[in-house]
Structure 1
Amino acid sequence: MKDILKRRFQMTDLGGVSYLLGWHIERRRSERIIFVHQEKYTTKVLDRISLDQCRPVRSSEETSQKLSESDCPQTDAEKQEMEKFPYREAVGSFMYLIVGTRPDLANFVRQVSRYLQNPGPHHWNYVVRGLKYLNVTRNFGITLGARDVTKACLAHALSAYSDADYANSVDTRRSVSGYVTYVARRVNAF
């Protein structure tokens, strides 16, 4: 295939891809898998926000904490105080990670992105917790490949699950629902 492309187009073969748009791509041929992660990008984010040496936490969210519009700054002085914190930059960094290799952060970003226009100290503390979680899980990523596709796996070719959090929003009392579909025990959509 390379020869056909070289005859048709002017090109240079740089070998297998190992880094693309901030994604590290590790091919493990013996295991027949490809592991994609954004560890370097995550480290840059933590360095930029000065949380690279923070105390680690084991989850991005704390179930007892609920974010609310009542936590948003009300006065100009409070709003000006919150401008010191890189709230939008941090949430944007989380969004880039979700698109790439960290779908586990999707619900966290759904919650904190509601307050991008007017975040308060409580919202910032919630984002800091997410950054502390990133510090622990910076080497997480996505594994692609045929590691354990067996007859038992194919017997459960398609399955789906859903859940709802009734009246999740403190402000509007709206519910939040989610779903995940699996094909051959691999996440297909969420």
Structure 2
Amino acid sequence: MDNPDNPAEDVLAGVGPRLRALRRARSATLAALANETGLTASTLSRLENGKLRPTLEQLLPLARAHGVPLDDLVAAPPTGDPRIHLRPVRRSGLVMVPLTRRAGGIQAYKVIYPPAGRSPTMKLQTHEGYEWFYVLDGHARFVLGEREFRLGAGEAAEFDTRIPHWIGSADSRPAEVLTLFGAQGERAHLAPAGH
């Protein structure tokens, strides 16, 4: 509820749920985020639960760790400019460009996988959620459980992320992929043209 007497309280009241949603979207534990930010797991938990009022010194490392602008953490009022200012995030050898600005729900990313041989060692991962990806350019190597696929530009895949998986470039060129990820298992429902 808006508090006309203290608008700062309204802004800060929403930080905890946004922090929790961002951490869960990355499938990060409080302990992992603590290592990444230098804040204690206890402090992170109290921030997420709204039991601790966030300070700038706490919000800056959290914004960096989650790869979002500080304005997104505090839900700063819009400036009147409807354009999304994309800020690439480099993580584990990948370039990820967040395409959605809200925390929670289905998240969209453009991911650029480095050429095969320059990417991190293939390590199958599992986590809660559901993912859909579409190859924009290049060729992607996709490992799902015991099966392996090569997808070219214009091809898409959809899978349950609880199945061990890995995605990377299939050859000496980078692979550019559009990814939709739902931490709660939301699926991308694509309707045929005309529906």
Higher relative contact order (CA 8 A, sep 6+): 1
Q: Larger C-alpha radius of gyration, 1 or 2?
A: 1
TM-score, normalised relative to structure 2: 0.24
Which is richer in strand?
A: 2
